[in-house]
Amino acid sequence: MCSWLPLPVLHGIGGIWGSLLYLIPNRTQETTRKNLQTCFPEMPSTQINQLVKESLINTACTALEMGKAWVSPITSTLNLVKDSDGLEEFAAAAAGPRGVILLAPHLSNWEIFGFYASEGRRANFMYQPPRIEGLDRLLRRVRARNGVSLAPTNRKGVAQLLTALKRGEIVGILPDQVPADESGEFANFFGEPALTMTLVSKLIQRTDARVFCGFAKRLPRGKGFVAIFEPADEKIYSSDIKESTEGLNRTVESAVLKAVSQYQWEYKRFRRRPDNSEFYRTHSN
């Protein structure tokens, strides 16, 4: 149903859904508030409250938009993007002989952004295969419908990404997921230590890839999206893993600051701590 409902209607439903999540105590709301208070400690409580509500609404909108991202004809999905910023530099890099790593954080609708960024280009996106086989088949089918190759989050998938970069193709990665301990390094994210993936740093070290970050910024009143691309922070190219992961997080921060309320603050980004302490509450009131 969500695939054929107009975008303004979906966003209206998202507004109601997100507002209910804001009014009724729940873990999602608690996590959102904790993350925002941590990342913006100087922000007044009234502004934090407003951002909590806006974030919950935007996350609800992202969920409701998935029908349009996965089920609608690909031309209809691409037409949701009304404009772009920074596309020329990204397109020039993607057309060159070097591979391009495209970081797509959990910001607005990363699925729609991925389809837009890979249109007419050879692209490979890393994904976490779900445990349910039927759901895995569904994700593979809908995410690959624009010619994108999917690479699972395992050694085979990493090898696929490495080969693709050496062929000069695009590799898409969600950079703000909490990795396994052996695949991560603690680096500050908005001033707070966050276990950060080292995969991007290692791919850079083994290739001559350029790195960009991007997202599809949601426009008000269901008017669609603007695709935003920008080069990564120069620190990401450092041969020092610690410094490179700091550059990765700075890159994500720069994107988030362009649309703070559209970031998925509901995600437990700080659940792993350097001292193994508990960061999030384990229950709701």
Tens digits of per-residue pLDDT, 81-130? 999 999 999 999 999 999 999 999 999 999 999 999 999 999 999 987 77
Residue-wise pLDDT tens digits, 18-41: 999 999 999 999 999 999 999 999
CA 278 to chain centre: 25
Report the pLDDT value the prediction gives residue 148, as an integer from 0 to 100: 85
DSSP one-letter code for 179: P
Residue-wise pLDDT tens digits, 191-237: 999 999 999 999 999 998 999 999 999 999 899 999 999 999 999 99
Report the pLDDT value the prediction gives residue 285, as an integer from 0 to 100: 39
**What three-state secondary structure class fits 244?**
helix
| Closest of 14, 218, 28 to residue 108, by C-alpha | 218
Does the residue 223 lie in any domain?
yes
Is the separation of the CB atoms in 76 and 145 below 8 Å? no
Please check the confidence at residue 283 and state whether its pLDDT lies above 50. Answer: no
What integer is the mean pLDDT of 254-273?
97
Domain count for the chain: 1
Does the residue 213 lie in any domain?
yes
Residue-wise pLDDT tens digits, 70-83: 888 899 999 999 99
How confident is residue 1, by pLDDT bands cut at 50, 70 and 90?
low
CA-based angle 116:152:228, to the nearest 5?
25
Does the residue 69 lie in any domain?
no
Does the residue 125 lie in any domain?
yes
Which amino acid does the sequence have at 249?
N
Domain hosting 119: range is 76-262
**SS3 annotation, 12-81:** HHHHHHHHHHHHCCCHHHHHHHHHHHHHCCCCCHHHHHHHHHHHHHHHHHHHHHHHHHHCCCHHHHHCCE
* Mean pLDDT, rounded, of the chain: 93
pTM attached to this predicted model = 0.93
How confident is residue 282, by pLDDT bands cut at 50, 70 and 90?
low
Does the residue 177 lie in any domain?
yes
Does the residue 277 lie in any domain?
no
How confident is residue 134, by pLDDT bands cut at 50, 70 and 90?
confident
Does the residue 68 lie in any domain?
no
**What three-state secondary structure class fits 114?**
helix
CA–CA gap between residue 11 and residue 278 (Å, rounded): 35
Please check the confidence at residue 48 and state whether its pLDDT lies above 50. Answer: yes
Does the residue 33 lie in any domain?
no
